[in-house]
Amino acid sequence: MISVKLRKNIGKFFSNLALFINSLIIGFSLWFYVVTGSIEKKILNIHIVPKVGKKLCILSYSPESLMINVECKKRQIILLSFVDAYINLNNDVGKYTITLDESNIKFPVFIGKINFFVMGNNEMNFEIDSLIEKKVKVVMIQGLGSEPDSVILLGPKRLIGNVSVVIPDSVPEKGKTTTITLGEKLIKVIPNTIKIEQ
């Protein structure tokens, strides 16, 4: 008899607790929406990332951030501090300079519509190269082999176009593994771990 009542009370408690927590979440969401709905003006330093097509990659670009004067809701300003702006580039291989303005700087869709203008230097310099994939041989010291004996490099044509062999970062004992890195963030080695064999 006592255990049945206790079970009912515990069930009611957890049922009420879930309702209470949901009410708190909804209340906080409404409060946040109202408090951050006012329009404000602010100067922000935003990170900007250029984007190119699938067969291309960015070798370098500058500046990496811009000062913008923004007029939008307070919640949008909060969100802007956590996201990167981007610019879609439709250029081919080469070096370019473009003017950055409201028409070509994009923000993630969830930010919504904002009014802004670029302050200070509004030019971006960038260099685009073609992205290639190349199979190269792994060279080991005399008497040792590797599994696999070749790897695939994925990166800018300028950086890997003349590469025909790669050397592992270290030579461990037979049966152990080692990595292959080429010291460039733009180059991906697949697979980047090889097994040493005799």
Q: Among 109, 130, 151, where does a domain finish?
A: 130
Examine the domain organization and report whether 29 and 59 are in the same domain: no
Examine the domain organization and report whether 163 and 123 are in the same domain: no
Angle subtended at Cα 31 by Cα 27 and Cα 36, rounded to the nearest 5 degrees: 150
Examine the domain organization and report whether 55 and 118 are in the same domain: yes
64: tokens are 């990496």
Residue 95 pLDDT = 92
Along the 198 residues of the chain, how does pLDDT read in single tens digits? 567 777 777 777 777 777 888 888 988 888 777 776 778 899 999 999 999 888 898 888 998 888 999 998 888 888 888 999 999 888 888 999 988 888 889 999 988 888 998 888 888 999 999 988 989 888 877 667 777 888 888 889 888 888 888 877 776 667 778 777 777 778 888 887 877 776
Query: What CATH number is attached to the domain comprising 44?
Result: 2.170.120.30
The secondary structure of 138-190 as a DSSP string is: EP-STT-EEESSEEEEEEEHHHHTT--EE--S----TT-EEE---S-TT-EEE
Residue 166 pLDDT = 82
Examine the domain organization and report whether 73 and 88 are in the same domain: yes
Examine the domain organization and report whether 188 and 139 are in the same domain: yes
Residue 172 pLDDT = 67
Q: What are phi and psi of 77, to 5 degrees?
A: -65, -40
Rounded CA separation 94/140 (Å): 36
Q: How many domains does the chain have?
A: 3
Examine the domain organization and report whether 147 and 102 are in the same domain: no
Examine the domain organization and report whether 85 and 120 are in the same domain: yes
Examine the domain organization and report whether 106 and 47 are in the same domain: yes
CB 140 within 8 Å of CB 126: no
Domain extent for 170: 133-197
Residue 198 pLDDT = 66
Examine the domain organization and report whether 45 and 126 are in the same domain: yes
| Longest CA span, the chain | 84
Examine the domain organization and report whether 105 and 175 are in the same domain: no
Examine the domain organization and report whether 155 and 183 are in the same domain: yes
CB 152 within 8 Å of CB 138: no
Examine the domain organization and report whether 52 and 104 are in the same domain: yes
Q: Which residues contact 189 (CB under 8 A, 6 or more apart)?
A: 151, 152, 153, 166, 180, 181, 182
Rounded CA separation 127/57 (Å): 9
